[in-house]
Each structure stands twice: as structure tokens, then as C-alpha cells.
Chains A and B, each alone.
Chain A
Amino acid sequence: GDSVTQMEGPVTLSEEAFLTINCTYTATGYPSLFWYVQYPGEGLQLLLKATKADDKGSNKGFEATYRKETTSFHLEKGSVQVSDSAVYFCALRGDDKIIFGKGTRLHILP
């Protein structure tokens, strides 16, 4: 079945560091791919998405490119801020549902 694998956390970085959170997927066909973010005490909210191969999703300085050849959708940000501390979920749109990875907790130190 369809699945998503993302790097385990927690990831701890200093402010202004470069961020990469790896995500790979297994799916039939070419599903839409997402990154969701969960801030402390809140539900998940969509961060960015890509609906077809080579699409780049971007929002709030975060980017991810849909790579069909490597079945990947890695999340990147050039300069992280303390306010980016959260849990990040990679996900794909499967039949009847959205399938989530296990989440990566990100800590940004001032």
C-alpha cells in the first residue's frame, strides 16, 4: 500500500541554519504530495503542496520539489527561525484518505 517515510527527529538547529527534512514515498501512480506543520497545542495545517512531478511547493520560506525519479519530497528552508519550531509531517493523497509520515520534531535554538 501507499506509504510515507520521513527522517526521525528531533532535529535541533541554531537560528539562521539551513534546514532539510527528508521524505520519501511509495505509491501507485503519481499522488499529490504535502507538508503539514503542527505548532504546539494545535492541529495540523497545510504548509505547502505539489500535485505533479517537478512541481515545487513553497510557503513561508519553505520549499519542496516533487521528484518522481527518487520518489522524494524533501523539505528545505535556507534560514530557520525560532518560530519554525514545530512538528512537520510529510503526506500523500491516497485513495479516500491522506497518508501521513510519522512526523519530525524541529527545535530551533536562538
Chain B
Amino acid sequence: IAGITQAPTSQILAAGRRMTLRCTQDMRHNAMYWYRQDLGLGLRLIHYSNTAGTTGKGEVPDGYSVSRANTDDFPLTLASAVPSQTSVYFCASRVDRMNTEAFFGQGTRLTVV
């Protein structure tokens, strides 16, 4: 089934540890995004990529990094996790930056303790 796959679905992580959240899409979409969802704050954009080989910073990029080596994969890395990074993380994609509809993964629930 075509779509976006995120892994893991949930994770408990000790503060200071490094963690990579995985995101893979099989729709050949050029644009991909990482959002975090927090109660009362809605969805906030962390990083984005308009096409393979390019990335950009969103609204809350500090403490996170991304790479886009190919069209399908867009991993999000927390170099040294802190409790404030406890959140639900959503990966999304769309055909290109001008296309209207975004498709979302099921989310990764991350708890940093």
C-alpha cells in the first residue's frame, strides 16, 4: 500500500542519547516535512526538503537535523535528546512544494526521560 511509513511508532529515550526517526515514502513525492505535535501548540514545522539533496529549516529546528540523500527517505536525527523534545513527530510529503495536498505518516511518539 502506497504511503508514508514512520519508525519506530513509539520510543522512550534517555536524555543525552542520539536518536534517528525514520520516514520512508513510496509515492515519489519531491517534498517532505517533519512536524512535531504538542498539546496546545498544534503542528510546528521542524525541517523540510523540497527535493532530494536539499533541506531547509522550519519553525523549530534547534536540536534536530535532517538529510535527504534520495527521494524516498527523510530521517530526522536528535543528536542529544532533551526532555523538551518529548512529542509526537509526524513526517509528511507532497508531490512538490506547489502541490496542495500533504500526506502524513502515522506518527512517532517520543518520550525523553
A interface residues with partner B (beta carbon < 8 Å): 32, 34, 41-46, 49, 51, 89, 93, 95-103
Interface-forming stretch among B14-22, B66-74, B75-83, B101-109? B101-109
Assess whether B101 is in contact with A49, with CB atoms less than 8 Å apart.
Answer: yes
Chain A residue numbers with a CB within 8 Å of B102 are 44, 46, 98
Number of B interface residues at 8 Å Cβ cutoff, please give it: 24
A45 CA to B100 CA, complexed, in Å = 12
In the complex, 19 of the A-B residue pairs with CB atoms within 8 angstroms, ordered by the A residue number, are A34-B101, A41-B106, A42-B107, A43-B92, A43-B105, A43-B106, A44-B43, A44-B92, A44-B102, A44-B104, A46-B101, A49-B100, A49-B101, A96-B97, A97-B45, A98-B92, A100-B42, A101-B42, A102-B40
Assess whether A43 is in contact with B90, with CB atoms less than 8 Å apart.
Answer: yes
Chain A residue numbers with a CB within 8 Å of B50 are 96
A3 CA to B30 CA, complexed, in Å = 24
Q: B28-53 vs A: 1/0 string, CB under 8 Å?
A: 00000101000011110100101000
Chain B residue numbers with a CB within 8 Å of A34 are 100-101
Chain B residue numbers with a CB within 8 Å of A89 are 42-43
Contact of A93 among B40, B92, B100, B105 (CB under 8 A): B100
The answer to whether the Cβ of B56 comes within 8 Å of any Cβ in the partner chain is yes
Interface of B is mostly: strand
Assess whether B43 is in contact with A42, with CB atoms less than 8 Å apart.
Answer: no
Chain A residue numbers with a CB within 8 Å of B40 are 102
Chain B residue numbers with a CB within 8 Å of A95 are 97
- Which of A42, A89, A99, A102 gathers most chain B CB within 10 Å? A102
Assess whether B42 is in contact with A103, with CB atoms less than 8 Å apart.
Answer: yes
Assess whether A32 is in contact with B100, with CB atoms less than 8 Å apart.
Answer: yes
Find the B residue at minimum CB distance from A99.
B45
